[in-house]
Amino acid sequence: MKHVLPRILRKMFCSGLIGCHGVFPAGAVNKAKLYLTFDDGPCPKHTPRILELLAHHEVSATFFCCGGLLEKYPDIACGIVKQGHMLGNHTFSHKIFTGISQSERESEITMCQQAIEQFQSGTRLFRPPQGLMSLSDFFWLLKYGYRIAFWTIDSLDSFQTSSEVIETRLKSCGGGNVILFHDDAELCVQVLKKMIPWWKAQGYSFGTID
Ligand SMILES: [Zn+2]
């Protein structure tokens, strides 16, 4: 039961009821912008392709990385930062918070933050694996100065579906949305190849969460 309340909280975040546009405390949200976010990397197979695509279209994004992977793939981490993207904390080893103790959860966050600070300092953005965390995690994060960043649209790129289904879904979302992708998902690259030019043709620009 202890995670029922956070599920409700997450729904409230994602629907914009609190923490406008998925982020708490909320910052300024530009309705002319879309906020692309990539979870679970860096991934040696796909992240470099995504970075290439973002650079080609001059798009900025936010990467919620796992600390262990940042340490394993420092060159990719440097590439993300060098291109002007933001790094966010997605725990050190992507353990789901419902299965570990409070002290393990805090250490997962702290260790990831230490990894992030080797590449980019001054950012304290956190997104829990699968969006699950307890209310005590929520207050712990605020106490240590983190902003908690969920999403408002899940692209579903990590599900067994087709790029057409995802594209149709994404075409219906308006400006100001925080879109969840996974940079270890094959579909992510396919979808971005089509969607970035489409979004640009609709007049959207792209922002980072910071
Ligand atoms: Zn994740």
Task: For 179-198, give the DSSP string.
Answer: EEEETT-HHHHHHHHHHHHH
pLDDT at residue 3 greater than cutoff 80: no
pLDDT band at residue 19 under the 50/70/90 scheme: very low
CA of 200 from ligand 1 middle (Å) equals: 27
- By CB atoms closer than 10 A (0-12, 13-18, 19+), residue 110 is middle
As a whole number of angstroms, the distance between CA 163 and CA 187 comes to 6
| Protein residues near ligand 1, an ion, with CB under 5 A | 39-40, 129
Q: 28 CA to middle of ligand 1, Å?
A: 25
| pLDDT tens, residue by residue, 77-136 | 999 999 999 999 999 999 999 899 999 999 999 999 999 999 999 899 999 999 888 889
What distance in angstroms lies between residue 48's CA and the mean position of ligand 1's atoms? 18
Centre of ligand 1 to C-alpha 147, Å, is 17
State the average pLDDT for the chain.
Answer: 90
CATH code of residue 62: 3.20.20.370
Domain count, the chain: 1
Q: Catalytic residue positions?
A: 39, 182
In the predicted model, is pLDDT for residue 189 greater than 60?
yes
pLDDT at residue 67 greater than cutoff 70: yes
Find the domain containing 166 and state its range: 4-206
